[in-house]
Chain A
Amino acid sequence: MAYLVDNWNEEDMQEIRNLLRKPTAQTEHGELRGILKTVLSQVTRGLDMSPLFTDIVKLCATVSIIEKKLAYLYMTTYARKKPDLALLTVNTIQKDCCDANPMIRGLALKTLCSLRLGELIEYTKHPLLAGLKDKSVYVRRIAVLGCLKVHHLNPQFSTDHDIVNTLYEMLRDKDVIVITNCLMALEELLLQEGGVVINQKIAHYLINRLSDFTEWAQCCILQLLLKYRPENDEETFDMMNVLEIYLKHTNSGVCMAAIRLMLHLTKDLPDIIQDVYKRLKGPLVSLLSSDRPELVYTSLCHLEWLNIKAPGKLDKYYKKFFCRYNDPGYIKYKKVELLAILCTNESLKDITEELSVYATDVSVLLSQFAIRALGQLAKMNPAFTLTCIEAMWSLLFLELDSVSSEILVVFHDILRYENLIDYITGVITKLPVCEHVVQDPRGKTALVWLIAQHGKDLLDAPYILESMLDSWEEEPSKLVKLSLLTTTTKLFFSRPAECQDMLGKVLQRCIESSDDPDVREKALMYYRLLSKDVQKARDIICTSQPHLGILPTDGTSSLSSNLQHFNSVALLFGADKWQEVQQSKLIGKSKVYSQSLHPVTVSKPDETELCMPETSQLLDLNEVTTEIRSDVTSQVVSEIKFAPTISLSPEEFEGKWMLWKSSKQQQLPLLESVPPNDIQDRLAGLGWQAMAISPEGSDPWKAFLYAKEANTDQLYLMEVNLHSETDLLTFDIKCQEDQQWVTSAVMKLILDAVS
């Protein structure tokens, strides 16, 4: 029989069905297994094999464990499609849950909990509760996580059967995997209350037994221990002593988790935390030599973080950040970025030499990163400027298009800084060399801009411009055309005699024959300005550019240096990206997709500036962005839904109400009197449930409401006041701090419903 049929049709399905129904199939194990394998391989390929459900369900009663596994695997895949048929298997599974063989018991229990069918919960109850007390550890491990699976289907289950307490008791189990599973299950079950409670007793128990746990459990436990606050410094030091040995663990997951806990414990002890920084650099630096690029990347990101926290500690390790030929691109880019950050007077020579090597690399991206790093160094520290600028000059003489282009772009960006003023003339004299090399539109734009800005000192400027204008017709890039236009105009003011003729030609060309409206408009504007009053036009077009002081190194954004992101996805993404990711959980998927595909490119602002030096126009841009933002909010609104039924005890409500700060307050003057009941009904329609309401007719009428957002599972509390005299309705919404950005959207939804 063909195992991998490309076109699977009804006939093949029938053939399989016949084979499955053949009575001999029950006896010959080898054959049956072959058939099941075929079916599952089709499932893996994404074909719908659910029509065979009835036939495979019957096989669950088979005696062979492998066939059983395959059949159960099939069932977990399709049970949701055929809930009524799945019900038929319950008997078999329940029977298997009482089998003498713990492997079968475990398998059956796991399957039962993984079917993800709400209807089956009542059948799951007994096997699951029995499983928690099973004498085999294998079954107990599965049962503990089974509770969690069922909880996700129906949260009521765990409260009905007091699962939380049972699991707390099971923390005393002798098997460490059972204990870990209990901890993880509790953490998720009690998510609303902040997860599993780590009191001193549990904390000490866990930390003392830590070495007994598996490496994965150690990671998880170290993470949970973040919740524990030692009572005094002495206890902190005891914990630190135990933790220190985990820095030597081969599993970098454990190592990182231990570092994070150490940092957490010492976050209020400034003297000691410096010591911790010193220690954590060792494991991170040695991870750099790992042959697993993902881990190298992780360690690079963390070293970047560490450098923000404890600057200067890593400087002497700069050689570790030199790229290897076979490093994947993402590691090379990160290393180059870090090299620029770690540079000191001692390492400057080595680093610039190394960056110059990368600058001529065959990978254009790496070359761009390296040149940008050189630029970064040049503007960051006056002591570095000369060496870096010279390195870039010598690169210019290689006359490579992509290299020269990028260098011009970098010059265009950095010459605005104070410490580079002395080098402007030097840069300008190199421009004629670049003219025939640079083909890249970005490079050309930068070249032309540099001429516009500093061309008065360059003897050849008009000639360079002229030769570029000669190829105007072949120039495909609009940006280049726009900047050529601006440059010619600017140069005209400083060297009118040589440029007048040229300017006339350019303006004529732009106005008469350009099909691009932007180019035409701009040319017309220049033309009108020039024809009204040349002097005023000069004042408007040629404004002097202020020189910028040295900027502090960027990357110190508060979020990225946040300890809570250590050893998490967020740190690898960087703060901004992570926030974007977080928000995208609410926004429609297609939208996010396009967002994540087009991250903002760095060079954009420069280009806009190049074309529009007027600040008023930049202000306009701001308005546009606010409009865009409000657009996004409306997107959010369409996605926010409140879960229909949730329960919250008055105590919980009160506790949260006292704890949370109000994140959004709003007043709504009503046009006509509305009975309070009506308001309450409308809010209930949205999913807001009442906790306490003042009787109708009282003034002001008050109501405390709560609701849970269906997608994020976040709880929102609200106080509503209605002043009947003034017909003023006030809202006060509270929620967890990290969710506050959504509250405007929530508020909008409420206002829409009420008004």
Chain B
Amino acid sequence: MSLSAVFFLDVKGKVLISRNYRGDVDMSSVDKFMMLILDTEEEGQVSPIITHGAVTFMYIKYNNLYLVACSKKNANVALVFTMLHKIVEVLTEYFKELEEESIRDNFVLIYELLDELIDFGYPQTTDSKILQEYITQVGQKLEIAPKPPPAITNAVSWRSEGVRYRKNEVFLDVIESVNLLVNSNGNVLRSEIVGAVKMRVFLSGMPELRLGLNDKVLFENTGRGGKSKSVELEDVKFHQCVRLSRFENDRTISFIPPDGEFELMSYRLNTHVKPLIWIESVIERHSHSRVEYMIKAKSQFKRRSTANNVDIIIPVPNDADSPKFKTTVGYAKYLPESSAVVWHIKSFPGGKEYLMRAHFNLPSVEAEEAEGRPPISVKFEIPYFTTSGIQVRYLKIIEKSGYQALPWVRYITQNGDYQVRV
């Protein structure tokens, strides 16, 4: 591993802030970074790692920023990329938006954090909850000195002791995102569900939590396979607080949660499901005069569920003008800045079919540069519903002080990367 330095660059490649950890690279070598990116881009050789002499740059792009790590060794790539993302995560927890301006406003804080996150190129404390205990934005005098980080002696490096809440509550959200890719002939090219269990934990002390799901493997193990509906989860990944060995043994998800918000687990389902919202489009383009759209949207889930705030985003040519719309439900709006029409349907019950027509004029002179053909994308949210049928059977909370805590569970299915090619 060992990162030699970390840089924050703006979109033009100017250094906004940098931290030299090992002093073994020339800090000015980053000046070439932007040029290298542009050059490799032209040749189609661009990749998130590039070299300049003996230095390897690994970068991620966030908002309009480049976060660049450089190393002289044959570093562990996945680690470097996740570390860079971690830096973004920690910084956004401190000041919401990470962008050029917030970096300028907070650069002292960023220096402080960079100093704690990594020492001599090796990651140190990265847990933002713990960091927030001793790196605070408010200045302190020595009399009220901040607490130094506690020793990480057991498996609970993510939670510090002595957390207190008057009302002990846990919120658990099961969120399933549907990724869909449909080609222009209406064939489903890819359909998958990425699920996540997110938690917001407001519990005192060191609570011990146990989560029960209708996991197929567990049901089969305990001989309940036939009776109730169960779900086969693939590629389950857990937050580091979950005792993985326990899960491996008896499929119990037991953990001491971090304080506040975190993602407990994620999973993937490869089962082929009917696309929840099906889009058919007919586009008639008469060059130099007009283009007409007919979009049909069909909800293919159970009648008792309802999709909320459905946005169907239909890309139109850059130079289209004079929009005219007709919808059977909801309203359509032209967004010239993103060259798209958004058809908004506030509530879309299952088993329904709606229609929208749009008409645009096109200029008689053709635009010089060719345009891409972005797909139609759909945004939606279906509450109280999961595609996979995953269910939380119980969430047990045990703390030695014996308080009663309330668990709240919510299910949502939403769009992930939902694209229909035209």
Task: Return the contact of B82 from the options A37, A295, A322, A324 (Cβ within 8 A).
Answer: A295
Stretch at the interface among A196-204, A228-236, A243-251, A727-735: A243-251
A-B contact pairs, 25 of them (CB 8 A): A33-B108, A33-B139, A41-B104, A41-B107, A44-B17, A44-B18, A44-B107, A64-B141, A69-B111, A103-B148, A138-B149, A141-B119, A212-B154, A214-B152, A214-B157, A214-B240, A216-B79, A245-B244, A250-B263, A325-B374, A333-B44, A569-B71, A569-B77, A572-B47, A581-B56
Q: Contacts A175-B153, A216-B83, A298-B77; is A325 near B419 (CB within 8 Å)? A: yes
Given contacts A567-B77, A584-B53, A599-B43, 6 further A-B contacts (CB under 8 A): A102-B148, A216-B79, A250-B266, A295-B81, A362-B372, A596-B51
Task: Let me know if B235 and A283 touch, CB within 8 A.
Answer: yes
When each residue 218-262 of chain A gets 1 if its CB lies under 8 Å from chain B and 0 otherwise, what string results? 011001000000000000000000101110111111011100000
Interface residue SS majority, chain B:
mixed
Q: Is the CB of B46 within 8 A of A330?
A: yes
Which of chain B's residues have a CB closer than 8 A to the CB of A152?
22, 24
Contact indicator B81/A294 (Cβ below 8 Å):
yes
* Interchain CA distance A46-B16 in the complex, whole Å: 10
CA distance A535 to B141 in the complex (A): 99
Within 8 A of A (CB), among B193-225: 194
Please, which residue of chain A has its CB at the minimum distance from the CB of B44?
Answer: A365
- Which of chain B's residues has its CB closest to A212's CB? B155
Residues in A with CB closer than 8 Å to B81 are 252-253, 292, 294-295, 298
A170–B166 Cα distance when bound, in Å, is 41
> Contact at A253–B149, with CB atoms within 8 Å?
no
How far does the Cβ of A452 sit from chain B's closest Cβ, in whole Å? Answer: 29
In the bound assembly, the distance between CA atoms of A180 and B236 in angstroms comes to: 28
CB of B250 to closest CB in A, whole Å: 13
Q: Report the nearest B residue to A256, measured CB to CB.
A: B78
- Cross-chain contact A176 with B149 (CB below 8 angstroms): no
**Interface residue total, chain A, C-beta cutoff 8 A:** 111
> Which of B123-131, B287-295, B304-312, B340-348 sits within the interface?
B123-131
User: Could you say which of B125, B151, B247, B372 contacts A361, with CB atoms under 8 Å apart?
Assistant: B372
Q: Residues 97-140 of chain B: 1 if any A CB is under 8 Å from the residue's CB, otherwise 0?
A: 00000001001100110010001101111110000001000011
Pairwise interchain contact A64-B140, C-beta atoms closer than 8 A:
yes
* The one of B47, B146, B371 that contacts A103, using a Cβ cutoff of 8 Å: B146
Q: Which of A177, A255, A589 contacts B152 (CB 8 A)?
A: A177
Chain B residues with CB under 8 A of A175: 151-153
Residues from chain A with a CB closer than 8 A to the CB of B43 are 599, 601
B200 to chain A: closest CB distance in Å?
A: 17
A570 within 8 Å of B by Cβ? Answer: yes
Q: How far is the CA of A319 from the CA of B386 in the complex (A)?
A: 24
Q: Which of A188, A297, A329, A357 contacts B41 (CB 8 A)?
A: A329
A253 touches B235 (CB 8 A): no
B372 is contacted by which of A101, A212, A363, A597 (Cβ under 8 Å)?
A363
Residue in contact with B192 in the complex, picked from A282, A289, A597, CB distance below 8 Å:
A289
Q: A142 vs B45: C-alpha distance in the bound complex, in angstroms?
A: 40
- Binary contact track A276-320/B, C-beta < 8 Å → 1, others 0: 000000110110010011110110000000000000000000011
Q: Bound complex: CA of A292 vs CA of B77, how far in Å?
A: 13
Q: Residues of B contacting A361 with CB < 8 Å?
A: 372
The chain B residue with its CB closest to the CB of A591 is B53
Query: Looking at chain A's contact residues, is the secondary structure mostly helix, strand, loop, or mixed?
Result: helix
Q: Identify which of residues 600-616 in chain A touch chain B, using a CB-to-CB cut-off of 8 Å.
A: 601
Range class of the B interface residue count: 35 or more
A667 CB to nearest chain B CB (Å) = 34
Considering the chains assembled together, what is the distance between the CA atoms of A570 and B71 in angstroms? 12
Given A46-B15, A329-B46, A138:B148 Cβ within 8 A: yes
Which residues, 156 to 211 on A, are CB-close (under 8 Å) to B?
Answer: 174-177, 180-181, 184, 188, 211
Chain B: which residue is nearest A259 at the CB level?
A: B78
- Assuming the contacts A214-B126, A325-B419, A362-B373, asked whether A223 and B239 have C-beta atoms less than 8 A apart, the reply is no
Known: A585-B54, A593-B32. A257 touches B44 (CB 8 A): no
User: What are the residues of chain B within 8 A of A40 when measuring CB–CB?
Assistant: 107-108, 111
Cβ A64 vs Cβ B139 within 8 A:
yes
For B41, the closest partner residue in chain A by CB is: A329
A148 within 8 A of B: yes
Binary interface profile of A, 576-602, with partner B (CB < 8 Å = 1, else 0)?
Answer: 001001001100010011001101010
Chain B contacts of A256 at CB under 8 A? 76-79
Q: Which residues of B contact A (CB under 8 A)?
A: 1-2, 15-18, 22-24, 32, 36, 39, 41, 43-54, 56, 58-61, 71, 74-85, 104, 107-108, 111-112, 115, 119-120, 122-127, 134, 139-142, 145-146, 148-155, 157, 179, 181, 183-184, 189-190, 192, 194, 234-240, 243-245, 247-248, 263, 266, 268, 370-375, 417, 419, 421
- For the complex, give the distance between the alpha carbons of A324 and B189 in Å: 11
Instruction: For B370, list chain A residues within 8 Å (CB).
Output: 362
Does A674 interact with chain B (Cβ within 8 Å)? no
Interface centre among B151, B189, B236 (most CB of A within 10 A): B151
Cβ of B160 to closest chain A Cβ, rounded Å:
13
Task: Write the nearest CB–CB distance from B210 to chain A, whole angstroms.
Answer: 18
Nearest Cβ on chain B to A212's Cβ, whole angstroms: 5
Q: Which of A29, A33, A211, A322 contacts B244 (CB 8 A)?
A: A211
Q: How far is the CA of A390 from the CA of B23 in the complex (A)?
A: 58
Q: In the bound complex, do residue B244 and residue A181 qualify as a contact, i.e. CB atoms below 8 Å apart?
A: no
Q: Please encode chain A, from 325 to 339, with 1 for each CB lying within 8 Å of some chain B CB and 0 for all others.
A: 100111001000000
Q: Considering only CB atoms, which chain A residue lies closest to B242 in the complex?
A: A248
Max chain A CB contacts within 10 Å: which of B22, B82, B125? B82
Residue of B nearest to A590 (CB): B53
B240 touches A177 (CB 8 A): no
Do B53 and A589 touch (CB < 8 A)?
Answer: yes
In the complex, which residues of chain B have a beta carbon less than 8 angstroms from the beta carbon of A593?
Answer: 32, 52-53
The answer, among B41, B49, B119, for a CB contact under 8 Å with A145, is B119
Q: A149-B120, A354-B189, A361-B372 are known contacts. Are A568 and B45 too (CB-CB below 8 A)?
A: no
Question: Are A66 and B108 CB-contacts (below 8 A) given A145-B120, A214-B152?
Answer: yes
Q: Judge whether B77 and A145 touch: CB under 8 Å.
A: no
Residues of A within 8 A of B123 (CB): 214, 216-217
User: Which residues in A have their C-beta under 8 angstroms from that of B56?
Assistant: 569, 581
